[in-house]
Structure 1
Amino acid sequence: MQYFARVPCPAEVFIPTEDSDAWLWNPTHRWIYDKLAVAASQGLEAAPHGVSPSHYPVFSKPIYNLKGMGVGSRRLLSEADYGAAYQPGHFWSTLLDGDHVSSDLAVIDGEPKWCRHARGKTGVEGTFDYWEVSSRAEPAIEDWTGTWCRKHLRGYTGMVNLETIGARIIEGHLRFADQWPDLYGGDPWVEALVRLYAGGGWSFDDRERRTGYSVVLFSPHGQRYRHPPRSLQDEIAAMPGVSSLQITFHEDLAPDRHAMPPGGFRVAIVNCWDRAAGNAARERLRCHFES
């Protein structure tokens, strides 16, 4: 909520930051959360568990997962893997190669008007070490996702987040990635977001975009963590080169109530303009959580 604290939003304007809200508010287009349908819409080989793959390797994950974080996702390298991973509600699809990119698009009647791309540096077992929120265009991704939006999202106006591997869509969300509005442009970008959902079109001066980084801290599973003291949070957020700090769990909820990848429990995200500064901030946080 820190990104929206300084920007007024009319009470009648609803901007989803959670997939559960986006699902409720967009009945016509909520089929986008069906990952099997998204794969089929691009001509990828895919089928629900129960229909065996004709070849391996393939990728398997839940057809629906509104909690995110890669829960239940895995590669299947053989028929034995498929048998061990089989469960209702999951599907397999073509195993794609290439960079994992998260793209946010501002869309009006299915037509993209603005986009930014974040490339993930993967860690262990579904985690990410950091994301680079690039200032550059991604022509291959923009061509593919733009054509796909114009075909499949006609009638939809708002933000859409599309995750791609090798420029092919692996999943979609009727919202934006709320980790990095500050890296998109801060308050002016949030103001443009409010105008978009209020019916005012898309108007945002993006000529001064710059590359930023979102450095992620995962801690081991099996512990109950506490938020850092406010003084430490303020100190880290004020470090040179750091743009913002997010604590990404609810300390009043049990750890197993959070959707997390197998490789770790995400406790914090440091947004920064200098990745070395972000890494230094992360290590300060790591000392807190390990103690």
Structure 2
Amino acid sequence: MPVLERDPWRVQYFETVQCPDHVAIPTDDPDCWTLFPGHRWIYDKLRVAETQGLTAGPHGVIPPSFPVFSKPITNLKGMGLGSRIIRSTEEMDHHYRPGHMWMPLLMGQHVSTDCAVENGCIVWLRHATGLPWDDGMFRYWTVHGASFAEIARHLASWVEANMAGYTGMMNFETIGGTIIEAHLRFADQWCDLYGEGWVEALVRLYAEGRWVFEDAERRDGFSMPLFARHGHSFRHPPEALQAEVRSAPGVRSLQITFHEDKPPEDHAMPPGGFRLAVINATSLDAARAARRRLATAWDPALLLAQD
């Protein structure tokens, strides 16, 4: 398998694709740090802010005005851990954390963008947005068929200015068109929604340094989670039920996103709920219908209603 995948429920997207033995395609930031030492600087979020002309600094330096947004400068696991809004000098002193930074409190739409980069130039991209719910949870994500022109222009300019010589995938998170996070990887939870042949194009990019992908018929896709209440142990649904959900009209894939043999509290989950599964589909109706059917595998009193 060409892709370094740490989550077993996502291996399904890559396990049948042929790839040269020497190719390694990361999906996790610690692997990116190891594989691309010349470009690992992008995990310094203070430096990323400065490349865009933003007023920013480490804790210990007082911002010229408030409010500001505070977060770790570098954190390869749990990227938002300890992040908060700070509204005054007193709060700045109270929430002082070594290794944290502040930057402007940005407003606008939060967008995740996957990009294929060929020798420092973006040659393909797709945007995704989440519908926020509660306590770090999302009701669903939309993988958009349309391009967000302003974000696309900013990312293209930024990559050309800062990523000379880099070939591979990148993921950016933006708020109001401003980059807040950059990664030397792609978002592996919905790559099946990018279209037939996308994974083959991914392998070719890393194996041959060129991007070739027929993308004329892109359409919106949807990635919908199923959450349960924290504090309980769960078993995987019967294989027959999983097969039924996967074969339902409009469903592209099903991920069961937890380990049966691992304590629930040891999973990385949002504060609001324990994620049992993610369904990728070509329509919201198909995703919701599949989620309702899958939910019959567990005690309804333990599930969080999302419809």
AA partner of residue 17 (structure 1): T
Counterpart-to-counterpart distance in 1, 2:76 and 2:155: 21
| TM norm structure 2 | 0.88
Q: 1:222 to 1:73 in 2, by over 3 A?
A: farther
Counterpart-to-counterpart distance in 2, 1:32 and 1:275: 35
CA deviations on 1:205-235 (whole Å, 9 max, x unpaired) are 0001111111123333333333222222222
- The 5 A counterparts of 1:82-161 are 82-161=92-171
Kept after mapping to 2: 8 A contact 1:71/1:259: no
The size of the alignment, in residue pairs, is 290
AA partner of residue 269 (structure 1): V
When the two chains are superposed, the root-mean-square deviation of aligned CA atoms in Å is 1.9
Q: Residue 60 of structure 1: SS of its match in structure 2?
A: strand
Tell me which residue corresponds to 1:48: 58
Tell me which residue corresponds to 1:271: 280
AA partner of residue 67 (structure 2): P
- The 5 A counterparts of 1:2-41 are 2-41=12-51
Q: 1:91 to 1:150 in 2, by over 3 A?
A: same
Q: For structure 1, which runs of at least 5 residues remain unmatched after alignment?
A: none
- The 5 A counterparts of 1:142-181 are 142-181=152-191
AA partner of residue 179 (structure 1): Q
- The 5 A counterparts of 1:107-256 are 107-186=117-196, 188-256=197-265
The higher-RCO structure (CA 8 Å, 6+ apart) is: 1
Counterpart-to-counterpart distance in 1, 2:248 and 2:119: 41
Q: 1:211 to 1:198 in 2, by over 3 A?
A: same
Kept after mapping to 1: 8 A contact 2:128/2:143: yes
CA deviations on 1:143-164 (whole Å, 9 max, x unpaired) are 1011110111111100000111
Q: Residue 130 of structure 2: SS of its match in structure 1?
A: strand
Counterpart-to-counterpart distance in 1, 2:95 and 2:139: 26
Counterpart-to-counterpart distance in 2, 1:254 and 1:198: 38
Counterpart-to-counterpart distance in 2, 1:78 and 1:142: 34
AA partner of residue 223 (structure 2): S
1:73 counterpart (70, 80, 83): 83
Q: For structure 2, which runs of at least 5 residues remain unmatched after alignment?
A: 1-10
Tell me which residue corresponds to 1:288: 297
Identical aligned residues as a percent? 56
CA deviations on 1:56-95 (whole Å, 9 max, x unpaired) are 2222222222224633222233445434433222222111
Q: 1:93 to 1:258 in 2, by over 3 A?
A: farther
Counterpart-to-counterpart distance in 2, 1:77 and 1:263: 25
Q: Residue 164 of structure 1: SS of its match in structure 2?
A: strand
AA partner of residue 213 (structure 2): F
AA partner of residue 257 (structure 2): T
| TM norm structure 1 | 0.92
Q: 1:102 to 1:251 in 2, by over 3 A?
A: same
